[in-house]
Amino acid sequence: MSPEMFMYPFLFITLYFESFLLVTFLSKPARESRLPTSRSTDTPRVAIIVPCWNEEATVAGTVESLLALEYPKERFSIILVNDGSADGTRAVFDRFASHSQITALHKENSGKFAAMNLGIEYAKDAELIGFLDADSLVAPDALCEIVAAFEPDTMAMTASMSIHKPRTLLQRMQYAEYLLAIIFRHVFASINSLYVTPGPFSFYRRSVFTALGGFKHAHLAEDMEMAMRMQRAEMRIGNAIRARVYTKGPSTTSKLIKQRVRWTTGFLRNVLFEYRDLVGSRKNAALGMFILPLGIIAIGAGIFVFVLALVQVLQRGFDAISLAQTVPLSYTLSMGEFTWFYLPVTMITLLGAMLVLSTLIWMVAGKHLSKTPGALALNAVVYLLLYGIITPFWLVRSISDVALKTSTTWR
């Protein structure tokens, strides 16, 4: 049996996933959630908590973007929590300490989740409690979009993240990747299947913490764990697709892999060890029987397809070089007559081309619907060229860390 035959199951599953995404995207709940936001006159009291650990370089910009939010000043407060930073974060906090909307807290370093919980304690009068990582910025209308998207049965709300001013190739790749994530989050939210409420600008009703308690260490994936805890408690998590938040993507390969290993090990450890009951659950079938199993399959498939493709490329590359060295290079490089007969049309090339095209279309849709600024074309090309090569490294490392019980670090 040709090794290529093993590609077919993965191609079909991906095609099935893409089809499901499209059908759900066109379904009524997703369509309605995309309708233009009607500016609500209801302005619940909001607290936004910014946990910081050695964020002197970025936290000032984060706070300034929060102060520029188009929301009644008397209705929202900002709680900065310094989680034992060893850099100049305290000095930056001091600059904002006298601001009427801002509360600055300092504590010994004990982890992001503890900093978030301390912030919750100080947000006693807030109906909605939000969080923003200290390396992120928000669009001025982001809070209005978040508040307007809350339905009576929505217990938490996520925003649309994108990469702030991508410069390096890796950041450009992440820019395109985040556009895809915007669409995934939008579609998954419409069937209440979000399993993460990301650090950048996710909001919760106060009652969530009253009912479920605060954040946990959760294998350094406290935002994922909280979302899964909410799913287990059958609480609805929504998405405000036009609530834009910009985050600074890792600029180097080692930083990116470190971040993704933290995310992936957090996902695996939480799903496999803490919330295994959610997998296969019929209570929330979309999450339990589709999204989570596919998430696990995708990790294995990412590695398998990469290895298979690498073997094929090396094998064919070696053969091609061997052939090319047989005759003068000019003959190999000369373009022979090309007719339709030689079109490399196979199941794999056709299905692969369709999946690449659908990926690009989703990126365009994500950018358009979230109104994310920036140029997509170049970033999409970088994504297509790099993503499949880099991803297996953090997938392999993550599986290895989980299997060997290696502890994951933040940075």
Partner 1 sequence: MSLFVRNSLIALLTATAITGTVAYAVNYLNAARIAELGAIEDQLSIDTLSLDTQFSLLERAPCDSFASSTTLISSLADLGDRLSYAESQLGADNAQVIRLKQQYSLLEIRDYLITKQLAVACGTKPVTVLYFYSNAGDCSDCDRAGYALSYLRNTYPSLRVYSFDYNLNLGALETFIAINKIQDSLPAFVINGKQYYGFTSLEELEKQFPKGALSTSTPK
Residues lying near partner 1 in the complex (CB under 8 A) are found at 12, 15-20, 22-24, 27, 29, 191, 285-286, 290, 319, 322-323, 326-328, 331, 341-343, 345-347, 350-351, 354
Least distance from C-beta 367 to partner 1, angstroms?
24
Strands of 202-205's sheet, edge to edge? 102-107, 76-83, 46-52, 128-131, 202-205, 154-163, 236-247, 136-138
Nearer to partner 1, 94 or 234 (CB): 234
Least distance from C-beta 145 to partner 1, angstroms?
24
Nearer to partner 1, 19 or 400 (CB): 19
Range 112-121 burial, b when 16+ CB lie within 10 A, else e: bbbbbbbbbe
Nearer to partner 1, 254 or 330 (CB): 330
Among residues 51, 232, 14, 36, the alpha carbon closest in space to that of 134 is found at 51
Q: Cα 220 to the chain's mean position, in Å? A: 15
Least distance from C-beta 350 to partner 1, angstroms?
5
Nearer to partner 1, 24 or 202 (CB): 24
Q: Cα 210 to the chain's mean position, in Å? A: 27
* DSSP character at residue 252: S
Least distance from C-beta 187 to partner 1, angstroms?
10
Per DSSP bridges, beta strands 136-138 and 102-107 are unpaired
The whole-angstrom separation of Cα 5 and Cα 21 is 25
Sign of CA dihedral 191, 194, 199, 202: positive
* Exposure on the CB side of residue 207, measured as CA atoms within 13 A: 8
Check if the beta carbon of residue 77 is closer than 8 Å to that of residue 103.
yes
Least distance from C-beta 151 to partner 1, angstroms?
16
Least distance from C-beta 281 to partner 1, angstroms?
12
Least distance from C-beta 86 to partner 1, angstroms?
48
Nearer to partner 1, 108 or 342 (CB): 342
The whole-angstrom separation of Cα 24 and Cα 300 is 25
Nearer to partner 1, 60 or 351 (CB): 351
Nearer to partner 1, 27 or 40 (CB): 27
The whole-angstrom separation of Cα 248 and Cα 256 is 11
* H or E stretch covering 268: helix 253-269
Nearer to partner 1, 98 or 326 (CB): 326
Least distance from C-beta 186 to partner 1, angstroms?
15
